[in-house]
Structure 1
């Protein structure tokens, strides 16, 4: 049976009282925390000075006034000096003779949490023996006796110093362990290399920042720990840091596709020499994905502003041309002129199609990620692309390690891959040939889609400009917007697109998209659907039932609140605008904390203050949405 705190304190006091030395412990506020009976007896202290909480300053004042430290010119100055020394406490050992003629050694050691412990030992007998030795050993030289006394004093001081050193060592060991634990918990790699670029310290987080790297790298060179390709990227920054120039830069680890931000700081103490470099590196892949997507969105907005006016004017001109050519066609022109009119009409219609494609690229587009079963998705893609390929060109599809659904914009991905397959078909020509499409995860960071063909490959100019709008190698048959569209959709999703030629001939395109596993679908639940539009309520109800949920319906906040106490009700999904004086936000506020999970849906624009207020407090589903979006939204509603 464990002992109580009172029993433990009683045992502690008993043990301290059995010690033959006097002991006192003062806290960081210079107040007595603990002392033993010997402390009171040795200095003949009244009870008020041995009670926990007694002020150190009052104790010293009492001892000074009683003459414990001998005659002093100014008692208050003597008290002040000892109090200031206590506030700046350092380990010490000293021996002094008390007014009673007895000798005492004083050994003080600071505590890690503040304050200090002091041990007082009566060494009168030791001093008497030293004096007897001096008196009775006339044959010993004066120098030998003095040395023996000094050696004895030195040994006692050394013993006290060793005790203080052990405490300091324990504190440093504890501090080092705490520091290492803290650094190992950080989501970054912290390291130090010497002037020979070998690691002398690491928090063992390298493989969490760059996968497939060792965690224990002390003693390794940068090339050995990181690999020659990655080390070649950071070596210039290391050399600059050894020359005294700190720097921060970003680079991509080619093996894993991770984007890394690294900081290099010279290891220099004051104006002394530089002893090495401190390195801090972080994985910023997700940050880079989001940054690239935002940058592409801004580019699209700028392109839309630049092209919208021109597209409007060109559309009007094309409309006029179409009208004039149609009138000419009705005039009964001779055969040669009729052919010219037909060609003009075809070119005009193609111009209209081109304007539509420009609008689709530069206009506003919202990502709609849904759970995608990639093996099934790519199988369907093969069926869709198959009829467009000649008999001599075969399409091979390979999917590896992607059995779990992932979040992707399925429509955009389908458009992009179809575009790449059709481009590969054009590059092969009449055939025979092969187009290969593969997909696999890269270190749970990317999904890499690779399209290769056995065609002629990219020209140097195409490798440099293929993603530029209107660049084409197909002459008058191409718009030059296909790869530009793929690049736009990929970047908007936070991904990357890389073009290259295969060593054995043909082109290779690597399309990487962020790897985001889809959350598990919500188990069947009972849902209270609150919507005042009959048509919308019916549509959402069928979506919920198709997902396996039971649905109860209401058209107003009051009606819904009356149903909210039904047993087994798991979720209330309500529109913000409802029939009657109360909104869906009012309903959610009234039901908050009463059991069911709460979610809102709305068609209000993002800038609307009511929508912003709702999104700040509850899960929000924007309208319009489809069944796949609803299925992904429901598991994210907090409980």
Structure 2
């Protein structure tokens, strides 16, 4: 027998042992529970003591049985009782039944609607009161009346106490549920009074703002939050205390987390305020990355036309210089034409940098082991430094692997190391790169040097395009390119000076690698051996196994190999078609993952035909593209 049925059987047996009659009706005036004494006390048929029986039918049966004596208008009497039941209020009463039995009736409402009623036979008690009145000639009628009233009052008081105890238990249970819900809510809920002192907290402040206490009841706003954060919030708190609801978003200085706090005035009008604070760091990071992408798109639109015209002008100038150098020129003129040619080529390199900064680019995030990243970056960075400048690389990162665009990050850090080298100059010195995680929110990377530090002007404008302190030697795009890379993933970049030199701080969203990619067996199909080798190297670096095919015929045969996970084929295989190849393999081996790679533009019919069925990777491929293709279970 199921446990629920056993529990129900025991409950009914217990209710039947109670001497009092008991009935419970729900909000729809239908019987939910009753015990056997309820049936026997009023002589009710089985249909009226079955769950679901209508309260009105029961009242009508009792009226017709004479329970309430002579009733002139039975329908009106029943309707009156139904109206009283729908507007049920707690009550205690005593009445004499038609058979001479005296009963007390005690009713209490239920929290979700409906009510419970207990009927007690008090005939013997009333009989003793009557005998006491008849036999006690020495007692005055007034004393007897008071005695009866006192007994009635005591019974009513007992009923009221029971109701209050039940209400108190419900309130205690409700408060416990409310406390549990608020403490499980991933936000800080609190209340401060008119003096700025916390009167309630769900003890979630420390999870939102590190290094703060959890129990802040009785602490002032400044004591709980700290002077710096409190000063940010106090103006908005004052507005809310005056009755103006508001929402404030701010950055917590210690952790760098973005927090949104809603201030709601307490409607009691005593200057109190309710506060709801949530961590919106991930939202802010995504919003910043999206805004920066939109800025890049706008910059690309603005600069593409100018860059095109400028490139044409440089081409014309370069052509005229070539023609000019063929003419007989006076002494010294060739030096001028050579300088002009260098200037033109420098302008061309500048156009390339602008195109790289404003062109479409996606962050290719992939799991990166921090130790491996440092080990691969160290020789690249040391190669750019002279012997009298030392490089120090350190890391304090809790997670062994993070989701990063390793290639882009290396390029940015190399740029900063080169800037640090130039700042130190010909003197000996040190460049330090340090990685650490900040409150499980940011990956913070600092690059410091022992050079002269940033000038006031550089601190103010160093991230602006074309600003440089290197004169003709610099393009003014180095720091701007690093800033662009950081903003592209929703991070931040800050320039500062420390005791010994300059300090550049990058903060990237901390995204731990949630899973290691399972090694896959991949068939790479391309008719160019060099391309197959390049793709093979990228896949093996990601930990996968690779086999190669130089034609569609060879690939069709290798597709029958057991254990093959993926096939990555070029669309244009000389005289053969990669789309047709994958269509044939898909019919024979539906379990194999299929993808295409191509340098064809999206408008090409073959590109469109392939993209309608499978992923199409644009050439040149990048490791991040391959990782996302083969490892969908890894969080990006």
C-alpha distance in 2, partners of 1:377/1:177?
50
**Counterpart position of 1:34:** 33
2: distance between equivalents of 1:277 and 1:599? 58
Query: Relative to structure 1, is the Cα distance of residues 101 and 255 closer, same or farther in structure 2, using a 3 angstrom cutoff?
Result: same
Deviations 1:21-71 (A, max 9, x none): 111222343222332222122212233222332211100112223332344
Q: Give the conservation status (yes or no) of the 8 Å contact 2:540–2:546.
A: yes
Aligned: 1:187 with 2:186: yes
| Match status 1:475 vs 2:471 | yes
- CA shift for structure 1 position 367: 1.3
Is the aligned partner of 1:461 residue 2:460?
no
The structure-2 alpha-carbon separation of the partners of 1:147 and 1:528, relative to structure 1 and needing over 3 Å to count, comes to: farther
TM-aligned CA deviation for residue 295 of structure 1: 0.6
Partner of 1:164: 163
Whole-Å separation in 2 of the counterparts to 1:538 and 1:338: 46
Q: Are the counterparts in 1 of residues 467 and 476 from structure 2 also a CA contact under 8 Å?
A: yes
Write out aligned runs for 1:132-531 (5 A). 132-268=131-267, 272-274=268-270, 276-401=272-397, 404-502=400-498, 504-524=499-519, 527=521
Which stretch shows the higher mean deviation, 58-67 or 131-140? 131-140
Of 620-629 and 121-130, deviating more is 620-629
Q: 2 CA distance for matches of 1:585 and 1:169?
A: 72
- Kept after mapping to 2: 8 A contact 1:519/1:635: no
1:82-101 pair list within 5 angstroms: 82-101=81-100
Bigger mean CA deviation after superposition, 168-177 or 313-322: 168-177
Q: Give the superposition deviation at 1:322.
A: 1.6
Paired residue secondary structure (2:93): strand
Matched position secondary structure for 1:411: helix
**CA apart distance, 1:224:** 2.6
Distance 1:55 1:371 in 2: 67
Deviation at 1:161, TM superposition (A): 1.6
- How far residue 291 of structure 1 moved from its aligned partner, in angstroms, is 0.7
SS in 1 for 2:155: helix
CA distance in 2, matches of 1:446, 1:600: 34
> What is the deviation of 1:574?
7.0
Q: Using the alignment, how far apart are the partners of 2:312 and 2:464 within structure 1? A: 26
TM-score (norm 1): 0.86
> SS of the counterpart of 2:332?
helix
Q: Per the alignment, in what secondary structure is the counterpart of residue 373 of structure 2?
A: helix
CA gap 1:172/1:621 in 2 versus in 1, 3 angstroms: farther
Deviation at 1:258, TM superposition (A): 0.8
Q: Secondary structure at the match of 1:418?
A: helix
* 1:188-214 Cα distance to aligned partner (Å, 9 max, x none): 221222223222222222232223333
Distance of 1:441 and 1:4 partners within structure 2: 51
For this pair of structures, how many residues does the alignment match? 619
| Structure 2: distance between partners of 1:20 and 1:369 | 74
Task: From the superposition, tell whether residues 613 and 207 of structure 1 become closer, same or farther in structure 2 (CA, over 3 Å).
Answer: farther
CA contact (8 A) 2:209 2:252 kept: yes
Other structure's SS at 1:172 match: helix
Report how far residue 246 of structure 1 moved. Answer: 1.0
In the TM superposition, residue 403 of structure 1 has moved relative to its aligned partner by 6.5
Contact 2:448-2:502 within 8 A present in 1 as well = yes
| Mapped contact 2:523–2:546 kept (Cα < 8 A) | no
Distance 1:112 1:323 in 2: 91
**Counterparts of 1:154 and 1:599 in 2: how far apart (Å)?**
86
With over 3 angstroms needed to count, the CA separation of the structure-2 counterparts of 1:232 and 1:555, relative to structure 1, is: farther
Distance 1:117 1:574 in 2: 72
Deviation at residue 303 of structure 1 after TM alignment: 0.7
Report the alpha carbon displacement of residue 391 of structure 1 after superposing the two structures with TM.
4.2
Instruction: Identify which range, 629-638 or 259-268, moves more after superposition.
Output: 629-638
Q: Is the partner of 1:456 in helix, strand or coil? A: coil
Contact 2:24 2:31 (C-alpha < 8 Å) held by counterparts:
yes
Return the alpha-carbon distance in structure 2 between the equivalents of residues 141 and 275 of structure 1: 61
CA contact (8 A) 1:95 1:106 kept: yes
Change (3 A) 1:33 1:458: same
Distance 1:542 1:223, change over 3 A: same
Contact 1:452 1:507 in 2 (8 A): yes
Distance 1:167 1:629, change over 3 A: same
Residues in 1 aligned to 2:406 and 2:522: alpha-carbon distance in whole angstroms: 30
- List alignment gaps of at least 5 residues for structure 1: none
For the aligned residues, what is the CA RMSD? 3.6
Deviation for aligned residue 1:121: 0.5
Q: Secondary structure at the match of 2:493?
A: strand
TM-score normalized with structure 2 length: 0.86
- Distance in 2 separating the partners of 1:584 and 1:191: 64
Tell me the SS of whatever aligns to 1:636. coil
Counterpart secondary structure, 1:89: coil
